Amino acid sequence: MNRVYNFSAGPSMLPVPVLERAASELMCYGDSGMSVMEMSHRSPVYEKIIADAEAKLRELMNIPDNYKVLFLQGGASTQFAAVPLNLIGRTGKADYIVSGQFSGKAYKEAQKMGYDVKCIATSKDTNFDRIPVVTKDMISPDASYVHVCFNNTIYGTKYSYIPDTGDIPLVADMSSCIISEPVDVTKFGVIYAGAQKNMAPAGVTLVIVREDLLEYGDPKMPSMLDWKLMAENGSMYNTPPCYSIYMAGLVYEWILGLGGLDTMKEMNEKKAKLLYDYLDNQDYYIAPVQKDSRSIMNVTFVTGVEEIDKKFPKEAAAAGLVNLKGHRSVGGMRASIYNAMPYEGVEALVEFMKKFAAENPKA
C-alpha cells in the first residue's frame, strides 16, 4: 500500500528517512541486542541517546548554555499548570495573550489554580482570525511572565513578531511551529512544545527554560511538574518517554543534514506560498485568517457551504489526501503542512482543490 499525504494537525507525518532509519534499528539498536523500546533508561546506551538528542537540538536551535533542555511527559497541556507553578513565584502575577483555543486553556488553567492572572489582549471577538498586537505598555510591570501560544493550530494563525516584554520573561507554547524555522531563544524565558507535530511521535514534551527562572517554583507543586527537579535529574527523575526521545533525536539529525532551520524555513515557506497563492487567486474557497497573521504550518479554509465542507475531506481522503477536516470547533478544512510534508503533497492538494471546485459548484 502506498503512503498517503497526511495533513493531520497531530500526531502528524514523520520524515520518511527518519521512519526508515527507525525501522532498520527497531529490532536491534547498534550492538545492544535490543530495541530502544526495551532498554533501561539508566543504561549507558540510552544515556548516550538522550544526551545526543539534546546536543543535536541545542545545535539546531542555537540554544545558549544558560538554558536547560528538558524532555518531559504529559503533553503541552500539562505545562499549562506547570508554567504558573514554576514561575508565578517571581511576583505572584502573570499576563496572558489569548489568540486561540490553547492559549485560552492555558489562561483558564492558571485562573483555576487561583493565581492572579489577567488577559491583556485577545482576538476572540473576530473568531481568532488574527494575532493581537501587543505593545510593551500593555504589559503589567509586575508580571512574573507573559504567556503566548506562538502558532495556533486550530485557527491557522502565527505571531509575525516577538512581543517586547522587556525584563519580564516571555513564555511561548510552540507546539505546532517548533523547529520549523529559526527562532532567537534568548528572546524567551521559556519555550515549550508537544512533540507530535514536528519533532517525534506523541509522548515527549520539550521545555527549554532559562536557568535563573528555576528558582521560583512553588515548593508544594507535584514533583513531576517541577522543572528544577527535572533539570537536576537530566530529565530522568522517573522513566522518560524513551522511544519518543530517540525519534526526536533522529528528526533533529535529519534537519541538520538538510542544512538546519534556515533550510527548513525556506522549504516550509515555499509550501505555504503555493497553497496561499492558490487561495488568494480564486473565489471558491475562503481563507479566513488575516494575511499578516497566517501560519505556514496550518492553513485553514472553507467553502462557505456546510454540505460541501463536509464532502471535501471525504473525497480528498479517497484521493490519498487524508485528515483535512477542520477542527470540530471551527469546521471547514485545515491542511497541516509541517516539516515532514513534502512539496509534492501540497501540489497534490492544490490540484485536488481545483478539481473539487470544478465538480462541486456552489448554488
30 and 177 share one domain:
yes
Residue ending a domain, among 231, 258, 285, is 258
pLDDT digits (tens, 9 = 90+) for 315-345: 999 999 999 999 887 889 999 999 999 999 9
Task: Give percent of the chain above pLDDT 70.
Answer: 100
Residue 328: predicted pLDDT: 81
Asked if the structure places residue 9 within a domain, the reply is no
Is residue 101 located within the same domain as residue 221?
yes
Whether 336 and 283 map to the same domain: the answer is: yes
Asked if pLDDT for residue 13 goes beyond 70, the answer is yes
> Is the same domain home to 31 and 122?
yes
Q: CATH no. for residue 154?
A: 3.40.640.10
Quick: pLDDT tens for 109-160.
999 999 999 999 999 999 999 999 999 999 999 999 999 999 999 999 999 9
Give the H/E segment covering residue 21: helix 16-24
Please identify, among 229, 258, 287, the residue that sits at the C-terminal boundary of a domain.
Answer: 258
The total domain count for the chain is 2
Residues, the chain: 363
Same domain, 203 and 265: no
1 pLDDT band (50/70/90 cuts)? Answer: low
Asked whether residue 277 falls in the same domain as residue 250, the answer is no
Find the domain containing 159 and state its range.
16-258
The verdict on residue 7 lying in a domain is no
Q: What cell does 10 get? A: 497531530
Q: What is the DSSP string of 124-173?
A: GGGTT-SPPP--GGGS-TT-S-EEEESEETTTTEE-SS----TTSPEEEE
Q: CA 358 to CA 318: how far, in whole Å?
A: 17
Question: Which residues partner with 170 through β-bridges?
Answer: 146
| Whether residues 227 and 326 fall in one domain | no
**Residue 11 falls within a domain, yes or no?**
no
Distances (CA, A) of 200 to 63, 183, 284: 19, 19, 35
CATH number assigned to the domain comprising residue 350: 3.90.1150.10
Question: Residue 345 and residue 363: Cα distance in Å, rounded?
Answer: 30
Contact 87, 171 (CB under 8 A): yes
Across the chain, where does the E strand assignment appear? 5-6, 67-72, 93-98, 116-122, 146-149, 151-152, 157-158, 170-173, 190-194, 205-210, 298-301, 321-322, 333-336
Domain boundary among 258, 289, 304: 258
Tell me the pLDDT tens digit for each residue of 345-361: 999 999 999 999 999 99
CA 100 – CA 41 distance, rounded (Å): 37
pLDDT at 363: 77
Lowest mean pLDDT among 45-54, 131-140, 301-310, 321-330: 321-330
User: What pLDDT, in 10s, does the model give residues 185-230?
Assistant: 999 999 999 999 999 999 999 999 999 999 999 999 999 999 999 9
State whether 74 and 159 are in the same domain: yes
For 75: left if phi > 0, alpha if psi spans -120 to 50, otherwise beta; the answer is: left
Q: What is the pLDDT of residue 152?
A: 96
> Is there a single domain that holds both residue 53 and residue 162?
yes
Asked whether residue 247 is assigned to any structural domain, the reply reads: yes
For residues 28 and 163, membership in a common domain is answered with yes
Tell me, what amino acid is at 242? C
Cell numbers standing for residue 32: 545492544
Q: Which pLDDT belongs to residue 331?
A: 84
Shared domain for 185 and 265, answered yes or no, is: no
The predicted pLDDT at position 276 comes to 98
Residue whose C-alpha is closest to residue 199's, from 12, 32, 8, 6: 12
Q: Would you say residue 6 lies in a domain?
A: no
On whether the CB atoms of residues 113 and 220 are closer than 8 A, the answer is no
Answer yes or no: pTM beyond 0.85.
yes
